[in-house]
Amino acid sequence: MKSFKNKRVLITGGASGIGKIMVRLFLERGAEVIIWDIDQPRINETVRAFMHLGKVTGYKVDVSDHDQIKETVIKTKSEDGTIDVLINNAGIVAGRYFHDLIYDDITKTMQINAIAPMLITHEFIKDMMLKNAGHICNIASASALLSNPKMSVYASSKWSLVGWSDSLRIEMQKLKKDIGVTTIMPYYINTGMFDGVKSLIPILKPEPAALAIVKSIEKNKTMVTLPGYIYRVTRLSQALLPVRFFDWFAGSVLGIYKTMDKFTGRKEN
């Protein structure tokens, strides 16, 4: 999608982190922006901060709740109209060993990270197909390429998201629909979500990461890793090395398997 002028962009998890930055970036490009988020005070703050740039509205919604998704879709379409660009950005992480997780950690992570993007997209994609225009961007994770301790369910949710997202892209091509699908797989981003993470590979800064996502949609890119070399290094190493040597390379040389050792996560107010 080369121009966002007068397009309606919906961003889930748009009241904080890279979601909030993308709200501003899209408004600066002439789009109307709709925020879905679970945090009403942050929604209000984001709307107030950026309303001078253009039309921005927000809806409180828990995307792990199927009924709330349906209700908010009805409100959004009634009050704002159909969506041109959908960015499935909302996500959570439970950074503990699998045996330490409780049932709710597992189900909530899968519901928000994997199932919600499918359900939300299902609500909006038929309008895009009728118009034969639109773009869907799914924010996954580099953990969809590389397993990691204390990220088992998070990685599982993102592997699922990548598989669905790229299948959807191919379906749109097969149906000859002019609907782009971009799958983003970023390394750790310094937004607070992964506070405590220590990494030899540089942790991404939020502003450049958000800008890279927006530009990826502009250029209709398909599978994008941030940084770009992550995909090549990971896939080539996995293809060439036996599992035990890859574990040594990822764990001992790159230190990836230790990155979550001191994870604390975002401190909620």
Annotated catalytic sites, by residue? 154
CA angle 176, 181, 186 (to 5 degrees): 160
Phi, psi torsion values for 88, nearest 5 degrees:
-85, 95
Q: Which residues contact 40 (CB under 8 A, 6 or more apart)?
A: 60
Q: Which residues contact 172 (CB under 8 A, 6 or more apart)?
A: 179, 180, 181
User: Mapping DSSP to helix (H, G, I), strand (E, B) and coil, where does residue 37 land?
Assistant: strand
User: To the nearest 10°, the Cα dihedral for 79, 83, 88, 91?
Assistant: 0
End-to-end Cα, the chain, rounded Å: 38
DSSP result, 130-144: HHT-EEEEEE--GGG
Q: Tell me the torsion sign for CA atoms 32, 166, 260, 95.
A: positive
